[in-house]
Structure 1
Amino acid sequence: MDLSIYQHHFIVTGCSSGFGKAITEFLCREGATVTGVARRQDPLAKIHHQWPDRFTPIQGDLSKTQTLDRLVEVTSDKPLHGLVLNAGGPPAKTAIETSMSDWDEAYASVFRWKADLVLRLLPRFREAGYGRILFIESQSIKQPLPVLALSNAMRAAVAGFAKSLSRDVAREGITVNILAPGAHNTPAIERVIAYNAEKSGLPLDEIRKNMEEAVPVGRFGKAEELAGLAAWLLSVQSGYVTGQCMSHDGGTVSGLFG
């Protein structure tokens, strides 16, 4: 399929590993250009070495205002076709294990910077009469996970923001969607496996095996698989899809509309 994103410019956050890296590489292979943001310099340098003409790296913490300031400034002279909002989640904890400082940090790391960045860049999409905004969140939006109380709550807040925004800009050529991944072979799942192993006393391999067997397709997903769906949602072809929260979870969400 021709995604028609050749020479389109995208911003991808959290681009140094996991879903963000997979999406960045997919877009570059399709001939798009990407401005990518991540905390770690070495992974950014490796991606830039691979795609020197298509990838512009920005090192920084997305929860810091100065990082958002720099991102907006660096991309101000480029056309902007799409925005991928992706970052690691808060630590694995049950609700009763959390403190108010945990909630403050989760708000800053999961919700606040995303709303801030979208609202900063939205005028550019509206002026162009075109844009693709894609949030990479979690299946916990649809089916809360017991040990991810912070993620359950804050990602639900992101979903409320995204759905509201999608209606506001639906007639301006701008789509707003969410991808809700389940268990994939990414650093995020390793944190959950480690948490479950510590709590249960079971070996890491056994925890991993049990989690994989709980997925209807019998395995964890691959970040590259999600990247293909993300690229379509970022393409011209997806113009009639907006305000949606799409699962990418191997059938894990048990609801009728999972």
Structure 2
Amino acid sequence: MDLGLTGKKAIVCASSRGLGKGCAQALAEAGCDIVLNGRTEAVLEETRKEIRDRYNVSVLSIAADVSSPEGQRALLSACPDPDILVNNNGGPPRRDYTELDREAMLDGAIQNFVTPVELIQAVAPGMKERGFGRIVNITSLSVKMPIEGLDLSSGARAGLTAFLAGVCRQLAPHGVTINNLLPGKMDTDRLRGGFERAAQQTGTSLDDIRAQQAAEIPTGRFGNAEEFGQACAFLCSRYAGYITGQNLLMDGGLYPAAF
């Protein structure tokens, strides 16, 4: 399917690996020129070459912390007029709410609430002028369903969701959409790290932990970055101009609800 994205420019935050990389790959496959972002230059450069060589599109890489003003300036200098913005950032480490001090809470809010809002503020005016824009925020299943130890991440991402529910309707008349992708248990480094912690705490093998958690999901498996990225690309496509303000769960049916 031609998504109508050939020649469009996309900034994909935190995209050197994992779900962000999946989004960058899918957008490149659809014909977008890509600006990648990550903190580890070697990994970022490897991803840049992989995507450039595979899809024959322009791929720039910006090694920076996207939560910092300097990092944001670097991204926007590389691509001052993006057609697509994919907001993504690492979440706060798993921690009981009793262990969170003010500094940790402020850091979490900056990572998962303030940063995406700042980037949207920067790119939305140009999108409005051009009459086209696609903004996709990678949030989490935890926005809808509590996950033990991820209260700070859940709160910041839920706040972002509520904040943008009004903003997206201001931008909709100008051809600019804002939607959220909510990953459940995806086969990423973060999920595997959780398996390792659970194995250490319980004395259960990694294989058993993995099998137990997969069995809790109606599809019987974890999601992957490729299918996640393709969903992102569709939300950015010409066919998704009538979709805005929505939260697309990608969790294999783990969240039990009719609506």
Partner of 1:40: 40
Partner of 1:28: 28
Do structure 1's residue 158 and structure 2's residue 163 form an aligned pair? no
Task: Give the superposition deviation at 1:45.
Answer: 1.0
* AA at the equivalent of 2:71: T
Partner of 1:234: 236
Partner of 2:3: 3
Do structure 1's residue 68 and structure 2's residue 86 form an aligned pair? no
Task: Give the superposition deviation at 1:224.
Answer: 0.5
Partner of 1:107: 109
Map 1:48-87; keep pairs closer than 5 Å. Answer: 48-50=48-50, 51=52, 53-76=57-80, 79-87=81-89
Do structure 1's residue 89 and structure 2's residue 97 form an aligned pair? no
Separation in 1 of the partners of 2:226 and 2:9?
20
Q: Count how many residue pairs are aligned between Structure 1 and Structure 2.
A: 255
Task: Give the superposition deviation at 1:185.
Answer: 0.6
* AA at the equivalent of 1:65: P
Separation in 2 of the partners of 1:199 and 1:153?
26
* AA at the equivalent of 1:139: L
Task: Give the superposition deviation at 1:114.
Answer: 1.0
Task: Give the superposition deviation at 1:46.
Answer: 1.3
Query: Secondary structure in 1 aligned to 2:23?
Result: helix
Query: Secondary structure in 2 aligned to 1:169?
Result: helix
Q: Report the TM-score, using the length of structure 1 for normalisation.
A: 0.94
Task: Give the superposition deviation at 1:191.
Answer: 2.9
Partner of 1:221: 223
Separation in 2 of the partners of 1:119 and 1:91?
27
Partner of 2:254: 252
Residues 131-171 of structure 1 show CA distances to partners (whole Å, capped at 9, x for unaligned) of 00000111111112122111111111111122121111111
Pick which of 4-13 and 105-114 moved more.
Answer: 105-114
Q: Report the TM-score, using the length of structure 2 for normalisation.
A: 0.93
Tell me if structure 1 keeps the 8 A contact 2:17–2:47: no
State the superposition RMSD in angstroms: 1.5
* AA at the equivalent of 1:82: I
Tell me if structure 1 keeps the 8 A contact 2:30–2:233: no
Give the gaps of 5 or more residues in structure 2. none
* AA at the equivalent of 1:209: A
Tell me if structure 1 keeps the 8 A contact 2:16–2:43: yes
Task: Give the superposition deviation at 1:98.
Answer: 2.5
Identical columns (%): 31
